[in-house]
Amino acid sequence: MLARHHDPIAAIATAPGRGAVGIVRVSGHGLAPFVQALLGRALRPREAHYLPFPDAQGQPIDRGLALFFPAPHSYTGEDVLELQAHGGPVVLQLLLARCLEAAQGTAGAAGTAASVLPHLRLAAPGEFTERAFLNGKIDLAQAEAIADLIDASTAAAARSAGRSLSGAFSEEIHGLRDALVHLRMLVEATLDFPEEEIDFLRKADARGQLSKLQHMLATVMQRAQQGALLREGIKAVIAGQPNAGKSSLLNALAGAELAIVTPIAGTTRDKVQQTIQIEGVPLHVIDTAGLRDSSDEVEKIGIARAWEEIAAADAVLFLHDLTRQNQPDYVAADAAIAHTLAERLPPGVPVIDVWNKTDAAPGVQPGSAPGHEAVRLSARTGEGLDTLRHLLLEAAGWQPAAEGLYIARARHTEALRAVDAHLMEAAAQLESSGPALDLLAEELRLAQNALGAITGEFGADDLLGVIFSSFCIGK
């Protein structure tokens, strides 16, 4: 641990602003004397005490509940004091200041001059949860799940984050690790007996164990990808020529008038974004400027930004105007956009051809580009919107029937892909006529390290700093 991890810390643990209740939290080792100096009495462990919170002169700042959790039975694994007061910002700041003052033993009617907690300082963002991780109360995946639970934008995401917090994801990772460790021990044991290594591995069914491990990994990867969708959502960019109905489609999907809709080409000059949910999956819909050649400098900037958004999309809704399908210039411009999309989009990003204005052109039956999904709809009447929503979920790889999902982050899925790559290399070594067992053992070791990075067993300090710095202060 770094030296700062031994300092006692204090912070306001509730969100900024006014509320019915606010919490000031203190964590550290040996807080009992501090509690006595701060409140003028000892507290029974894990019992709520209703009492005044005195200032240095003994006058009450507020009255509320005080709870003391001696180590190791606390959130951080250290002694923890929580003061639950009325949730006014001034009240909480006064309580926090009083905690820092009492730690130094400032003399007063209710205090002593002795320093009882000399190194008490304000907590850094996420430091309480970081200490819970460092003290073995939770692993890194569970720590991240706490932030994901707070930030969840849908009920499904909150439930999945709750499963990760309870350890469901970590249990899957530990199961993979245990199977991997067993196989590593088997392989590395043969390195001491090279003349018998092939027969030994064959009798121990190393190939079967590795195949079973890869199958387990595939299941975890599939669930993690689903969990990542719940956390990150789907970024769908609406693209197309001016006046195809892009802004109307955004308004229809959002169920609100978010974007200005006029018959004037080039009305949308910059992106307009709205997040909605489909079956619990967040959908970040972005309306962009109409794609065309323009001499207007402001519109040109909007078009450039539109292409930037398209290049970063998880899915592109290529909007076509059915009422203009008989116009050669319009069809040629659509073909030019399709060609540019094929060039600029990364491989695997789905493009859905959305044929809009079916209410105005009911008999038109356009074709779709090879490899594109297609849907006919009317942004004005809402016809076809449900079909589009389900196409978006399918394009993103969402499986509605998936049960027991846990939340996952991009770094988790990247680590699992690294594990998969190492196991594939290990399988190739086993399949070769003369396997190099030292290389096989190294691939298994690297796979285990990638797994350990998920739960924090092999996490670097800079990784931990990035993760916990994204938390709010007091958490």
> Residues 49-81: pLDDT tens digits?
999 999 999 999 999 999 999 999 999 999 999
Give 106-122 pLDDT, tens digit per residue. Answer: 444 444 455 678 789 99
- pLDDT value, residue 128: 94
**Which pLDDT score, from 0 to 100, does residue 4 have?**
73
State the pTM of this model: 0.76
Annotated binding site for (6S)-5-formyl-5,6,7,8-tetrahydrofolate: 25, 82, 137, 475
Measured between alpha carbons, how far is 269 from 80 in angstroms, rounded to an integer? 53
The lowest-confidence range among 211-225, 354-368, 451-465 is: 451-465
Which amino acid would we find at residue 385? L
- Of 201-205, 315-319, 374-378, the one with minimum mean pLDDT is 201-205
Say how far apart CA 38 and CA 40 lie, in whole Å.
6
pLDDT at 37: 92
Q: Can you identify the CATH homologous superfamily of domain 3-138?
A: Probable tRNA modification gtpase trme; domain 1 (3.30.1360.120)
For the domain made up of 149-229+406-456, give the CATH fold: Four Helix Bundle (Hemerythrin (Met), subunit A) (1.20.120)
What percentage of the chain reaches a pLDDT higher than 90? 36
* pLDDT band at residue 403 under the 50/70/90 scheme: low
H/E/C letters for each residue in 394-457?
HHCCCCCCCCCCCCCCHHHHHHHHHHHHHHHHHHHHHHCCCCCHHHHHHHHHHHHHHHHHHHCC
Residues placed in the known binding site for Mg(2+):
247, 268
62-71, 182-191, 252-261: which is most confident: 62-71
274-308 tens-digit pLDDT: 888 888 888 888 888 878 777 677 777 888 888 88
Cα gap 65→62, rounded to integer Å: 10
Taking a C-beta distance cutoff of 8 angstroms, is the pair 376, 355 a contact? yes
Residue ranges at the known binding site for K(+)? 243, 262, 264, 267
Q: Residues comprising the binding site for GTP?
A: 243-248, 262-268, 287-290, 378-380
Report the binding-site residues.
Answer: 25, 82, 137, 243-248, 262-268, 287-290, 378-380, 475
Here the tokens at position 458 are 């092999």
Domain boundaries, the chain: 3-138, 149-229+406-456, 237-395
Half-sphere exposure of 444 (CA within 13 A, CB side): 28
Name residue 17's beta-bridge partners: none
Please write the tens of the pLDDT for every residue from 120-154. 999 999 999 999 999 999 999 999 999 999 888 88
What's 237-395's CATH class? alpha beta
> The tokens of 130 are what?
């970081």
